[in-house]
Chains A and B, each alone.
Chain A
């Protein structure tokens, strides 16, 4: 079974731009979570989607948003990029809301110049 896939793997943007990252969960998984990882803050939870509904949101500004499609694929969007948004963005999927074991993708490395 294929793992979680994320596209693109690397991205370079400039301040003020916006970016959309994509995540395809493991087949049959309906829950998708997003995390931001930076050297200073470590791994921080962004939000979680289940059945196209956002169930949890971390402590991030409204510039960070996401959505989930009927096929469980998810996208996250960051608008008005700031230098501090440079990070590894990780997506994780799990079977459903009763199964906590999350399986992570390889991440998207975003660099904001």
Chain B
């Protein structure tokens, strides 16, 4: 699985969009990009995932560049409850490799009132 690079920390003003970048320059064609977040000492929460097209759900949007070497998670209107560590994960889709995610160090997002 390709490794990811994320900034260690970011701040965002409450009510503004939070844009969290992720670099995955060695991603392969069959590898998905997943985003999870973890609020202090709780289990990671699934946010969104995608392969090549941009994706949107009720929580966030995922923008993947055309060459798929980077992506951005967008929280459209950040609230204080979005303060968490955000993990970008690249995961190959092979049925025989099981569900092992490499979480990396993530980005600590602080939403400021």
Contacts and interface: CB of A to CB of B under 8 A. Distances in A.
Secondary structure of the A contact surface, majority rule = strand
Interface stretch (A11-19, A65-73, A78-86, A92-100): A92-100
B31 to A, nearest CB: 10
Contacts of A64: none
B34 A56 contact: no
B103 A33 contact: no
Interface residues of A, number: 26
Secondary structure of the B contact surface, majority rule = loop
Interface stretch (B7-15, B16-24, B43-51, B58-66): B43-51
Contacts, number: 65
Contacts of B105: 42
B98 A102 contact: no
Contacts of A56: 97-100
B99 A92 contact: yes
A90 B103 CA distance: 13
Contact of B43 (A45, A98, A104): A104
A45 B97 CA distance: 13
B49 A101 contact: yes
A88 B40 CA distance: 11
25 contacts: A31-B98, A33-B98, A33-B99, A42-B105, A43-B87, A48-B99, A55-B98, A56-B98, A56-B99, A58-B100, A90-B43, A90-B44, A97-B96, A98-B93, A100-B34, A100-B49, A100-B93, A100-B99, A101-B49, A102-B46, A102-B101, A104-B36, A107-B41, A107-B42, A109-B41
